[in-house]
Amino acid sequence: MREDHVETNVRAIIKAEVRKSRKTGEKKAASKGQQTRAAVVEEALRIASAEGLAAVTIGRLASELKMSKSGLFAHFRSKEALELETVALARTVFAAQVLIPAEATQPGLENLWNLCHFWLEHIEERVFRGAYFFAGAFFERARQGGAVGREIRRAVRECRDALQSAVKEAQKRKQLDREADAKQIAFDLNGLLLGVYWAHLMGQWGALGQARDKVLERLRVLATEEVPAKALRSVRAFRRYLKGKHA
Amino acid sequence: MREDHVETNVRAIIKAEVRKSRKTGEKKAASKGQQTRAAVVEEALRIASAEGLAAVTIGRLASELKMSKSGLFAHFRSKEALELETVALARTVFAAQVLIPAEATQPGLENLWNLCHFWLEHIEERVFRGAYFFAGAFFERARQGGAVGREIRRAVRECRDALQSAVKEAQKRKQLDREADAKQIAFDLNGLLLGVYWAHLMGQWGALGQARDKVLERLRVLATEEVPAKALRSVRAFRRYLKGKHA
C-alpha cells in the first residue's frame, strides 16, 4: 500500500513536469521511444532509491520491465548514461517537491521556513521509496569523479544554495541578524535536517514530529526585533505570523 | 597515493583484529580457505565504501581478484552472505577506529569527547575509501528488511548507544546537566557530525577544522560548574583539562 502511494507520488510529479514542458511550447506528443525511455528511468529511480544507484543494471531493468537487454541498450548505451538520467529524474522530483514550491512563497524568512518544511514533508510522505535519495547517493558517491558524481553534487548544491539565498534574503529584509554567517546557517540547518532524518530512520519516536520545533529554535536565536517575539513562541504561532505577513 | 594509505589503514586494523582474536585463544593459523575468504571480504569492503554495497557482486569480485566465479561461490553461497560479511568487517573497522579507543579513555566527558574526536579523525584519515561507509549504507538500506538492513542498523545503533551512554555517565559524574535528555544530546551530536561531514564532502573549506569547536560549543551549554569555565574556552584548553583530569 505504502509503495503504491509512493510510486503514485513520483508518477504524479513526473506527469506534472511533462505537462509543464508541453505548456512551454514542446507541443508534440512523446514518441513511443520517449515513453519507453521515461518508463525505464522511472523504474531505475524506483530501484536506486531503495537499494542504491549501483543496483541499477541493464540486466535488472530488463527483468523488472520484461524487456530484452538489447532493447534497453538501444535506449542507454552505457551504465553511466542510465545513472545520469536516474539522478536527473531524482533532481526533478526533489525540485518539484521541495525547491519550487518553497520558491513560490514570500522571499526571506517564509521561503527559508518552507525549504525546511517541504524537505521534511517529502520525507514524511516518502516521495522516494527507501530513504531520501540524495542522502544515500551523496554520502556514497560524492567523492567520485566523473559525470555521475558531479551530477549528484550539483543536486545537493542546489538545495544548499537555496537555503543560503533564503538566509541572505531574510538578512536583507532585516528578519535575521545581518552579522551572522549565511553559509554557516545554511550548513547548520542542513545538518539539523540530516540528523532528524537519521534519527527517524533509526526509529526514534517523534524525531520528525519535533523537527520543526528544532528549526524554529535555530531561527529564534537569529531573528531580529522585526519578527515579533510571540511569533517565535511556537511553530503554530510562527506559521500564523507567516500567513499574516503574506496576506 | 591516498588510496594506498587508506587501504593500508584498513589492512592494519584487520591485522590487529586478527592478532587480538589469536591472543584470546584462537591459536591455530588461518587456513588457506579462511585467508582467501578474508581477502574477498576486504576487497568487497573496498568496493562497497567507494561505490555502495550494491556494487559488490560475485562477477565484479571475480574480475578484481582474478578468481573464478565458481571459486567465489564456494566461499559465499549468496549475495546476502557476502553483503553481511562486508558490513560486519566495516563494523569491526569502525569499532577498532572509533568505539574501542574512545572506550579506553576515562568514562564520562572524556569518553564523550573522544567518541566525537575519533569519529572525525576516521573521516580525516579516510579510513574507508570513498565516504563514511555507514552514512551511505545507512541512508540507503535502513528501510530495508532482511539480515543486511538489520546488520547496518545494528552498527549505527552501536555508535548512537556509545554516545548516549557517555552522556549518561557524564551526567552521573555531574559533568553535564542531569536535567538534559541524554538521548536528545546523543542525537544532536550525531546530527552535528553528519552535517560537518556533509559540508566537508561538499567541499566547504574548514568544515572539518571547525568541527571540534562546534562539539565544544554544544558541550559548553550543558556543562556544570564541575567543569571550570576556562576549560571550555577553547578546544586546546578543553583537551588540556581532560589530560589533567586523567593524570
Closest CA to B136 of B200, B89, B207, B197: B197
Residue B52 to residue A50, Cβ atoms within 8 A: no
- pLDDT value of position A4: 39
- pLDDT value of position B204: 78
How many Cβ pairs closer than 8 A exist between chain A and B? 125
- pLDDT value of position A13: 56
Residue A131 to residue B140, Cβ atoms within 8 A: yes
- pLDDT value of position A17: 54
**Phi and psi, residue A223, nearest 5°:** -70, 145
Low-confidence ranges of chain B (pLDDT < 50): 1-8, 18, 21-22, 25, 27
CA distance B55 to chain A (A): 5
CA distance B12 to chain A (A): 23
Half-sphere exposure of A195 (CA within 13 A, CB side): 27
Which of A140, A181, A185 should be substituted to probe chain B, the one whose Cβ sees the most B Cβ atoms within 10 Å? A140
CA B164 distance to own-chain centroid:
15
DSSP result, B42-77: HHHHHHHHHH-GGG--HHHHHHHHT--HHHHHHH-S
Res. A191: pLDDT tops 90 = no
CA distance B48 to B66: 18
- pLDDT value of position B16: 57
Decide if the complex's ipTM is over 0.85.
no
Q: Greater confidence, A169 or B210?
A: A169
Nearest CA in chain A to B190: A195
pLDDT, one tens digit per residue, over B71-95 is: 888 888 888 899 999 999 989 988 9
Nearest CA in chain B to A60: B54
Residue B198 to residue A194, Cβ atoms within 8 A: yes
Residue B192 to residue A191, Cβ atoms within 8 A: yes
**Phi and psi, residue B108, nearest 5°:** 95, -135
Tell whether A196 lies on the interface with B, counting CB pairs under 8 A: yes
pLDDT, one tens digit per residue, over A200-243 is: 888 877 888 889 999 999 999 999 999 999 999 999 999 999 98
Element spanning B117, H or E: helix B109-124
CA distance A41 to B235: 49
Q: Indicate the residue of B141, B157, B196 with minimum beta-carbon distance to A202.
A: B157
Under the banding of pLDDT at 50, 70 and 90, the label for residue A75 is: confident
Nearest CA in chain B to A152: B202
Tell whether B143 lies on the interface with A, counting CB pairs under 8 A: yes
Query: If you ran DSSP here, which 8-state letter would residue A37 be given?
Result: H
Residue B54 to residue A50, Cβ atoms within 8 A: no
Nearest CA in chain B to A196: B191
Tell whether A195 lies on the interface with B, counting CB pairs under 8 A: yes
Q: Which of A21-30, A144-153, A236-245 has the lowest mean pLDDT?
A: A21-30
pLDDT, one tens digit per residue, over B135-151 is: 777 777 777 778 988 88
CA distance B6 to chain A (A): 14
CA distance A13 to chain B (A): 22
CA distance B69 to chain A (A): 18
CA B234 distance to own-chain centroid:
25
Over residues A132-139, the mean pLDDT reads 71
CA distance A245 to chain B (A): 32
What pTM was computed for the model? 0.80
Tell whether B218 lies on the interface with A, counting CB pairs under 8 A: no
CA distance B209 to A109: 30
- pLDDT value of position A5: 41
- pLDDT value of position A6: 40
Residues of B in contact with A52 (CB under 8 A): 52-55, 136, 140-141
| Helical H segments across chain A, by residue range | 2-23, 32-51, 58-65, 69-75, 79-94, 100-103, 109-124, 133-141, 146-172, 182-201, 207-222, 235-246
pLDDT, one tens digit per residue, over A24-58 is: 545 456 788 888 889 999 999 988 888 888 888 88
pLDDT above 70 as % of chain A:
85
Q: Which three cell numbers stand for residue A181?
A: 554567517
Tell whether A245 lies on the interface with B, counting CB pairs under 8 A: no
